[in-house]
Structure 1
Amino acid sequence: MNNILVIPSIDIKNGKTVRVVQGIPELNSVEYGNDPIEMALIWRAENAKAIHVVDFDASANISKENLKFIQQICEAVIIPVEFGGGLSTYDEIKKTLDAGIYRVVIGSMAYDNPKEFQKALDHFTPTKIVAAIDVINDEVVVHGRKIHTGIKPLDFAIRLKEMGVTRFTVTDVMRNGMLTGPNVELSKKIAMTTGCKVTHSGGISGYNDLKSLKDAAGTLIDSVIIGRALYENRFPCQKIWRVAESGLFS
């Protein structure tokens, strides 16, 4: 019986919680609240065991001002908080971890500057560094999906595993925020090819999608990041955590 950890996502833009479609903050971005800290407290009250936070301003190189909200979220909840968005140097990773973040999710840096990424991975250990693989049409994309690398996701995953990565966050960008169902095969292939743990992200629209992911997961896909479906009450939050984490799907 496989358990899947449900991780609610808090996407921050201009200090507010937003819904981001296909990784593009400017595309049909909808605000879900003015206070990301309050949202973190809500998810904790709903029994979340971890929270995923994305800084879209930092991802777009607009501002690093949202770091103060990240730190306040860490202080407000007593569960692990993982963070992604715009981290491009060892020093930025250190500053973020020092702010109380449990682990960071790194994508573009691993592609742009593998030596710096390796330095961070070696120093902070793979427990603290998760590699993000964002994919469009079987091609890895970076910098907020603006740059197409020409690299196949499996090739990138193998390369990162050889560097020491032990966990990936895998996102089919075209399904992100669309409620069109998860690309289970993408996450499954990366998990099975590398033998690494995978956190799935993107496309979950409700109970049936979560069940299909669980059925295909094996033991390597052990968690899933969910945003829009939770904010729009696509399933009762307490029930979905209880069912997914116990593995008791019917």
Structure 2
Amino acid sequence: MQLYPAIDIRNGQCVRLRQGQFHDQEIYSNSPAKVAKQWEDQGATFIHLVDLDGALHGHGVNEDVIKEITNTVSIPVQVGGGIRTIKDIENKINLGVNRVIIGTKAVENPAFIKEAISMFGADRIVIGIDAKNGMVAIEGWEKISSYNAVTLAIQMRELGVKTIVYTDIAKDGMLQGPNVECTKEMVDATGLDIIASGGVSSLKDLESVNQVNVHGAIIGKALYENRINLEEAIMLFEKK
């Protein structure tokens, strides 16, 4: 199981939100690049970045910070937040990003996903499905759509998508454990590489998602609050 330490960027700082609420945040560092280097030094083999300002505004905002991160670490980086056009994808790749995560646009315009995959390949395009009570949230989680999360994932598979980051919003930033049941449903129904996100608070939580055959898991707040030791988690789950 691939582990992804998460760095959420807002106003150039490393922050964490609770349940995706922009008014409910905690600042952990003024230097996201230093945080990225710290995770790499502890054995991380992939880093997950979110441009929170980008997600809210619909276009890339923290590109200087992302560039600094890709220049600082030698491991691959994936990034989401505000990626809505082919040009946005090109910009991120030019910053040194390995994979881009597309969320809102996948709901609004599936044809865009097909075009992106044909241009950049399925290994570079990841779909972010953020759900609340099984329904897909869009626009920085500010709106709940009428799409069922699993139905959308199956539609994305038909377009050539291989990897999905699946986030349960109600669990995100709450340290209450991931939504294993819904994550298992997503894995079983789609057969895709599912990266579980939201609520991971302990090694036990990682074991729970590992048992439902996820491809990977994103760890955020639990790292910043020292509830999970990254080196230990990597030894247990990545190097098996």
Where on the TM-score scale, by shorter chain, does this alignment land: which range? Answer: over 0.9
Matched, 1:237 2:230: yes
**What secondary structure is seen at the aligned counterpart in 1 of 2:212?**
helix
- Equivalent residues in 2 for 1:11-160, closer than 5 Å: 11-27=8-24, 29-61=25-57, 64-160=60-156
Once the two structures are TM-superposed, the CA of residue 63 in structure 1 deviates from its matched residue by 6.8
1:63/1:135 Cα in 2 relative to 1: closer, same or farther (>3 Å)? closer
Partner residue in 2 for 1:227: 220
Q: 1:87-128 CA deviation, whole Å, 9 max, x = no partner?
A: 110111111111110000111011122222221121111100
Q: Which amino acid aligns with 2:185?
A: K
Paired with 1:133 and 1:72, the residues of 2 have a C-alpha distance of: 27
C-alpha contact 1:90 1:117 (8 A) present in aligned 2: no
Find out whether 1:187 has 2:183 as its counterpart: yes
Q: 1:24 is aligned with what amino acid? A: Q
The one-letter code sitting in structure 1 at the alignment partner of 2:171 is R
- Tell me, in whole angstroms, the C-alpha distance in 1 between the residues paired with 2:80 and 2:222: 20
Kept in 1, the 8 Å contact 2:44–2:230? The answer is: no
In structure 2, the residue matched to 1:8 is 5
Name the structure with the higher strand share.
2
Aligned sequence identity (%): 35
Distance 1:10 1:139 in 2: 25
Separation in structure 2 between the aligned mates of residue 5 and residue 163 of structure 1, nearest angstrom: 24
Alpha carbons 1:24, 1:144 under 8 Å: kept: no
TM-score (ref. length: structure 1)? 0.93
Which residue among 195, 204, 207 is the counterpart of 1:211? 207
Q: Displacement, 1:243?
A: 1.0
Q: What do you get for the CA RMSD once the two structures are aligned?
A: 1.3
Q: Which one is further off, 110-119 or 169-178?
A: 110-119
> How many residues in Structure 1 have an aligned counterpart in Structure 2?
240
Q: Which amino acid aligns with 2:6?
A: S
Tell me the TM-score normalised to structure 2 length: 0.96
Stretches of structure 1 that go unaligned for 5 or more consecutive residues are: none
Q: Is the 8 A contact 2:177 2:201 kept in 1?
A: yes
Question: Structure 1 residues 30, 163: closer, same or farther in 2, change over 3 A?
Answer: same
| Structure 2 counterpart of 1:7, one-letter code | Y
Q: Which amino acid aligns with 2:16?
A: R
- What are the Cα deviations for residues 2-51 of structure 1, in whole angstroms up to 9, with x where unaligned? xx121100000000000111122222x00000001111111111110000
Matching residue's letter, 1:6:
L
Amino acid at match of 1:229: A
Q: What is the one-letter code of the residue matched to 2:13?
A: K
Matched AA of 1:226 = I
